[in-house]
Amino acid sequence: MQSGFYSATSGMVAQFNKLDNTTNNLANLNTAGFKRDEMIFGDYLRVAQEKHDDLPLENHTKDSARFYNRATTRVPQVVDQYSDFSVGAIKQTFNPLDLALSEKELFFAVETPAGNRLTRNGAFTTDSEGFMVTKEGFKVLDEKMKPIVIDLNAEVTFDKNGALANGDNISQLMVVRPENLQTLQKDGSGLYSIGDENEMIHYGETTAVQHGYLETSNVNAVIEMSHLIEANRMVGMYQKVMDTQMNELNRDAIEKVAVTRS
């Protein structure tokens, strides 16, 4: 079978992945603290060259030449995916439990059934026991990694370092600054898992906590829509290539069968 058909199929699969990524970004356009995801496309040849030292093939051999010259070396593939941690717009809400972080490297720490996680979504509330929680019910942690209790009958204030003053309750919000943002993994619900929990250390003197504000999503609807249109067009182009390849295959098959029978 002609290799062009496989190349077009692989290219279409790569565009389907881009469509999924773009639609997920658009779906979270109004999710507080959401960070858009981006995909990096490459081809098999580039990946092979970067990983050449890991391949069990010696240079200047027939096996090596066959590996590098096969037709699939230019098939587009998703080679990496990352989150854009740039800060979204900061919007004032006047809600006493809404918090925003004005620096992209900082996160709030929350307690979940799967372990401690990080989040940028500062749309907090309280549960029936008075604990400060996320919309999903995960408890917000202080610098001692203990859940924060809020008395709604008293004034609630946070300073720019995350220090809480709430009647007789005085505590410090846990604000974390990971060493490498790209090691964070999205866990859903605006949460991130961190590879090494030893990095979950309170970052003092942040001056980045904004009380009564929320950070909006950093998704740009216009850019994402242009990506969506581009991916749809690419899928259509690959479909035409596949149709052309299939028609040629059918014609070749008919001609060869005719020649054989004659």
The 10s digit of each residue's pLDDT in 59-98 is 545 555 554 444 445 567 777 788 999 999 999 999 999 9
Q: Is the predicted pLDDT of residue 145 greater than 70, yes or no?
A: yes
Q: What is the pLDDT of residues 223-244, one digit of tens each?
A: 999 999 999 998 888 888 888 7
pLDDT for 12 equals 85
Radius of gyration in angstroms for the set of CA atoms belonging to the chain, rounded to a whole number: 26
Q: Is 40 in a helix, a strand, or coil?
A: strand
Q: What is the pLDDT of residue 44?
A: 56
pLDDT value at residue 127: 96
Over residues 201-216, the pLDDT tens digits come to 888 778 999 999 999 9
Tens digits of residue pLDDT in 123-134: 999 999 999 999
- For residue 83 the two structure tokens come to 């989150």
Write out pLDDT tens, residues 172-187. Answer: 999 999 988 888 999 9
Residue 132's DSSP bridge partners are 126
**Angle ∠(112,114,117) on CA atoms, nearest 5:** 55
> Which runs of consecutive H residues, i.e. helices, occur in the chain?
3-27, 44-50, 62-69, 221-261
Partner residues linked to 170 by β-bridges: 165
Q: Give me the phi and psi of 200, to 5 degrees please.
A: -80, 70
Task: Tell me what pLDDT residue 159 has.
Answer: 95
Q: Using the predicted structure, report yes or no on whether residue 258 has a pLDDT greater than 70.
A: no
pLDDT in tens, 32-57: 999 999 987 766 555 555 555 555 54
Q: Give the pLDDT confidence of 4-36 residue by residue, as tens digits.
A: 677 777 788 888 999 999 999 999 999 999 999
Contacts of range 233-236, beta carbons closer than 8 Å, 24 or more positions apart:
234/11, 234/12, 234/15, 235/12, 235/15, 235/16, 235/19
As a whole number of Å, the end-to-end CA separation of the chain is 23
Q: Any residues with CB less than 8 A from the CB of 220 and at least 6 apart, and which?
A: 36
Per-residue model confidence (pLDDT) at position 39: 86
pLDDT of residue 46: 56
For the chain, how many residues are written? 262
Please give the single-letter amino acid code of residue 112.
T
Domain ranges of the chain: 3-83+220-261, 90-215
Percentage of residues of the chain with pLDDT beyond 90: 56
pLDDT (average), residues 156-166: 95
The answer to whether 162 and 175 have CB atoms below 8 angstroms apart is yes
Question: Does residue 62 or residue 147 have the better pLDDT?
Answer: 147
Residue 100's pLDDT band, with cuts at 50, 70 and 90, is: very high
pLDDT of residue 260 exceeding 60, the answer is no
